[in-house]
Structure 1
Amino acid sequence: MAELLYRLGRFAARRGWWVITAWVVVLAAAVGAFVAFGGTMSSTMTIPGTPTAQVTDRLKTELPVASGGTGQVVLRSENGKELTAAQREDVSAALRKVADLDGVDQVADPFTTAAMRAEQAKKITDGLAQVKDGRDRIGKGQQQLDQARTQTEAAVRQAGSNPRLKAALAQLDAQQAEIDKQRPVLEKSEQQLLVGRGLLTMAENIRTVSSDGSTATATVVFDLPQQEITPETKEAVTKTLGAAL
């Protein structure tokens, strides 16, 4: 391969004008074919058959909502201080205008996202507290049930079986069954809540609003895959935000 390239280079150096003329002819033929067969210019680029293109095509078919490209918009207060309520509303209003643009599928408002995250964190905390309270109640109920069963069984041994004691034992069995039924429910709820808390913990450094409240990051989701988003669509997003803020 190295020797072949060397020979080609030598040939091109010796016959420079001939090589240049040949390339001009090839280029002219390509342009002529483009015009003759009705080709159209495109501001986007795709390479069919590549792994990226294959994944994108599959997403379009099986999960259209996930096939659109995304863009990040970082917004920061001019003075570096926390964004005021009025400024936050202005940002949200501007993002709503972006969401209405052609080529844009949706926009994730950073303030709404942050509020939802805080709400989910509160629900998980409250849920775990309820699970603990439920477990405490079951523990106390089990203790009382065990004491009642011990007393009832002692009475049966002393007085023998009778309808009243049989009914009492049946009632205790029913209460035990209910306790046994509630235990796995609480365990399952706790596991789900712990998984949710773990996910929130893993994502605690991924914020849509900075800790000091001066910076917000919005996500714009487009209709088309990343490589097919036109410059015109991107420019429309930039202009809309620039005009609104």
Structure 2
Amino acid sequence: MDNVNGFQSYFQFKQVNWPSMWQATFETVWLTIVSVLLVAVLGFALGLVLYQTNASGGRVNRLLNGIVALFVNVFRSIPFIILIVLLIPLTKGLMGTMIGPKAAIPALIISAAPFYARLVELAFREVDGGVLEATRSMGASKAQIVWQVLLPESMPALVSGLTVTAISLVGYTAMAGVIGAGGLGNLAYQDGFQANQNAITLVATVIILIIVFICQKTGDLVVQHIDHR
């Protein structure tokens, strides 16, 4: 009984402002969806360039591969919380503000797209070389090989990689909230931690976990549907 009373005194759920909690949840979900869509496009493009230029010879291809690989390796290695600070001038120039949900979008994209690009490149490398050679021998163009062979064959791995990236982005949105980007991270830090209202932090954490579980389950279901191996 004492433990129950202690729990209730530590987590006073009457402190939770539910309209604010749902607004923060919407901001986190919105940020995640927008970021995932943009990261999927940019990451796919970067991964395709890495795969194509690495497989082909020539000075121009090697130079392009080196430039893209450098971009990917550098921005994939910078901790997200530091990257947000470094990108403040770019963010202000692009978004017109340094606070609020949309202010986190440039940092989210630049941090996650290189990570997904490497997963895309790895997915393409796992495609059976025999299938690619057979397609080339039938006179298929590079574009046909990419869209009719490479993409369909690697789709399960691409979706799995995007699922992992989406889960990482949920965590990044929480970190972005600490410096005023809104969402559940901002609510948990400012209204929860700084105001010593532990129930707000707990509820925000549980909602973030639910979002992560939904992302993972959705990705697993999509992979099961498209993977016919």
Q: Normalising by structure 2, what TM-score?
A: 0.29
Larger Rg: 1 or 2?
A: 1
Q: Normalising by structure 1, what TM-score?
A: 0.28
